[in-house]
Amino acid sequence: MKTKSIFMVVIMIFACASINAQDLPPKHRGMHPILRADGTVVDENGKPLGSIKNGKVCDVTGKVIGIIAETGDVTAANSKGVIGVIQKDGSFKSKKGHVVTTDPDGLVKVAGKAVAKVEAGYKEKSHGCALHCFFSAENKDAKEIDEHAH
């Protein structure tokens, strides 16, 4: 019986270790992120995710994870490659061809599906694309972008 108990404890330790070792989404990603008027980014529950200010995309610790150039090029902080470009009409086109649009009311959409929101007081509605790229858990390219952002 003692051997069986020890065996069960060892199994439980391995089970707990494997559960904790699973990939969790980065802390800067959330469902339906909201870009507030002051540039802070929160998820749909109000949890802080980061910020977008002066062309810099930062995680919740203040670390720069992305850059929005005046030319419209959007890059990950540690990458020389462009993730995508903000078009003249304010939409965003990724390198892979995904198009992100921000409606006049601030609703950010991908393929017609609402994925994020830019509050009315935020001056650059076109930054909704960066909101989706760097903060949305629904971004299909999130894993690849996050690899270059840190």
Number of domains in the chain: 1
Residue 131: name the closest of 111, 109, 148, 147 by CA.
109
Please report whether residue 57 resides in a domain: yes
Residue 92 domain boundaries: 26-149
pTM of the model: 0.78
Spell out the per-residue pLDDT of the chain, length 150, in tens. Answer: 566 666 555 555 655 544 444 444 567 898 999 999 999 999 999 999 999 999 999 999 999 999 999 999 999 888 777 888 999 888 998 888 889 999 999 999 998 899 999 999 999 999 999 999 999 988 888 888 887 776
Q: Are 149 and 80 in contact (CB under 8 A)?
A: no
Q: How many CA atoms lie within 13 A of 54 on its CB side?
A: 1
What are the pLDDT digits (tens) for 93-127?
888 888 999 999 999 999 889 999 999 999 999 99
User: Would 18 be classed as within a structural domain?
Assistant: no
